[in-house]
Structure 1
């Protein structure tokens, strides 16, 4: 394995994607290569932010819903026969069962809309989970690319940011920590810097001080990136002075 090959293993090493032999060789290389040591540290920090970005916390009402349903649903052993009833009890039971059936049908009609709503909510949750998984896979592909390069910088208000670029993937990932919330009704928007002309690269998630974002669109030769504060929903071009500007790592 050549020195050039070792220089390209920073992303894979940070994500624990190397074999034992490759890890041993790369760790020996780190002791003599300050640039790779610094880049590996930055990629590990970015990977940690990525984990925090895709983590999902259950809804606060989930526990109460589960406990409420446990209290109202009776569990029976599958296939167990019910107790035998006397004739009169059986007749009375059949009469009561007709009332129970009518009540169940009425309840089903009343709750039909609720069932549809719950199904829609569950489908939306599944779609969001699939979307998050796809984004995580795309971010991981950029971070683990052999030619991935990272640059970190201090941002406005004490925040720290790191941008990772892979020319082979033609994509860029931006991770930030300690970002102050955008003003009410506003959102942070990312931009590719195409020789001084800003091209939208998507929106950051409002209200999150730590996040990792796959910048929207191809790098396509951009020399850097910027962040501006824009109206909710974003803008086609910057409407405010940038709160941060970063050049891409060479």
Structure 2
């Protein structure tokens, strides 16, 4: 494979469209080609923007509708057929006894508890979905901001990263592809570089090799950002040498 052919693979690599053999060859090429590294980082950021642009927000009122229906619709037991006429007559007779009445009351109480539990789970799911939606909206707003500026970062083991900064929104997004998992009990932590003083900007998901992270906090006057390996839960200050440092545009 010629060098000229490798130079033309940045777009396919950013879209994860290369066969494994060509992907490995291109990643080896990236280690010594600064123009391709920068182009790949910018294309990865663009691909992320396009992907987020097609996200569809739930219609207005969906949360209220879901919560209302879950408290009024009784869940059917799977595989239970309707009782026969003789069975219904026998059940009516049995319901006349005090023991049957007590059983009905107990069943009603249990059903009420189940309904409350389902309602709570629904509220929890809706709240989680709302938080995810808000985070995705903020992330997409940074990537699509008119003043968004990208800077590429080279990480270990062939991983590539891009930081996108919008000073108008005072936010930054870090995108990474082919990131290796951190050691057991460790996590990647993001930092803003405030003129030599590192300020925590949140944690990356240790289970994902490709991800986009909305950095926590305002960009403010940060001159750059970094990534370190920290103990699970993160740290207030970096405890290891950064595996990546990126300067923001002046």
TM-score normalised by length of structure 2: 0.64
Q: Describe how 1:1-250 pairs up with structure 2 within 5 A.
A: 41-47=43-49, 71-72=78-79, 90=89, 92-98=90-96, 102-110=102-110, 115-250=115-250
Name structure 1 gaps, 5 residues minimum: 1-36, 52-67, 76-81
Q: Which structure carries more relative contact order (alpha carbon 8 Å, separation 6+)?
A: 1
Q: Secondary structure at the match of 1:229?
A: strand
Query: Do the aligned residues in 2 keep the contact of 1:192 with 1:198 (CA within 8 Å)?
Result: yes
Q: CA deviation at 1:249?
A: 3.5
* CA separation of 1:179 and 1:113: change in aligned 2, threshold 3 A: farther
The answer to whether the 8 A contact 1:200-1:237 is kept is yes
Q: CA deviation at 1:69?
A: 5.9
Structure 2: unaligned runs, 5 residues or longer? 1-38, 54-74
How many residues in Structure 1 have an aligned counterpart in Structure 2? 190
Cα distance in 1 for partners of 2:208, 2:224 equals 23
Is contact 1:42-1:152 (8 Å) kept?
Answer: no
Measured at CA, do residues 73 and 198 of structure 1 come closer, stay the same or move farther in structure 2, by a change above 3 Å? Answer: farther
Which sits farther off after the overlay, 192-201 or 92-101? 92-101
**Equivalents in 1 of 2:148, 2:80: separation in Å?**
54
Over 3 Å counting, the alpha-carbon distance change for 1:39 and 1:188 in structure 2 is closer
